[in-house]
């Protein structure tokens, strides 16, 4: 549902933006210009519906790409307040909190993801990484073994295996 809403918002933006008449290959500056237009369009959508989670998520992604982690966090926190059951939003918020150095908030978001979706591999991997960075090798290994033991073939599984190997080499 979240993805569909985002596709609708971005699709509408693409239809409403001015047509490019030059036919030239898009340069990076044109991409930045399009992002500016997209932000304007999405901000207008938020004025109409301040709790539209796909729009809040997309704005957060743009702000993160632009290096404004504080604004990205605000958008994500608004999205969580609007719909706290969205695991993807909470995972994105945990990543931004971690990048801002707020490890406690990142840990809290990952724990909430596990409450909503027990065994969620990305949250387990993240908690393992937080534990490893704290020097808590025992818990890091436990989280990562849970990911590997789930049998899922995912990025989190590959990263967990690599983390376990790093822990073994460090001993």
Give tens-digit pLDDT for 24-53: 444 445 556 688 889 888 989 989 999 999
pLDDT in tens, 119-155: 999 999 999 999 999 999 999 999 999 999 988 889 9
- In the DSSP assignment, the letter for residue 85 is T
Q: Tell me the C-alpha distance between 143 and 123, whole Å.
A: 9
Question: Which CATH architecture is the domain 1-8+35-118 placed in?
Answer: Alpha Horseshoe (1.25)
pTM equals 0.77
Task: Write out the residue limits of the CATH 1.25.40.10 domain(s) in the chain.
Answer: 1-8+35-118
């Amino acid at each position: 549902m979240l993805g569909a809403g985002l596709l609708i918002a971005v699709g509408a933006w693409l239809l409403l933006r001015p047509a490019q008449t030059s036919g030239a290959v898009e340069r990076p500056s044109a991409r930045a210009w399009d992002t500016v237009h997209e932000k304007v369009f999405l901000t207008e959508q938020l004025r109409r519906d301040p709790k539209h989670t796909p729009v809040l998520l997309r704005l957060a992604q743009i702000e993160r790409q632009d290096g404004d982690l504080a604004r990205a966090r605000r958008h994500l926190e608004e999205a969580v307040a609007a719909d706290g059951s969205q695991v993807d939003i909470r995972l994105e918020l945990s990543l931004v909190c971690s990048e801002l150095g707020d490890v406690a908030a990142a840990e809290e978001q990952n724990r909430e993801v596990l409450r909503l979706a027990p065994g969620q591999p990305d949250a387990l991997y993240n908690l393992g990484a937080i534990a490893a960075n704290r020097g808590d090798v025992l818990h890091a290994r436990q989280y990562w073994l849970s990911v590997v033991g789930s049998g899922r073939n995912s990025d989190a599984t590959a990263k967990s295996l690599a983390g376990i190997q790093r822990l073994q080499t460090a001993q």
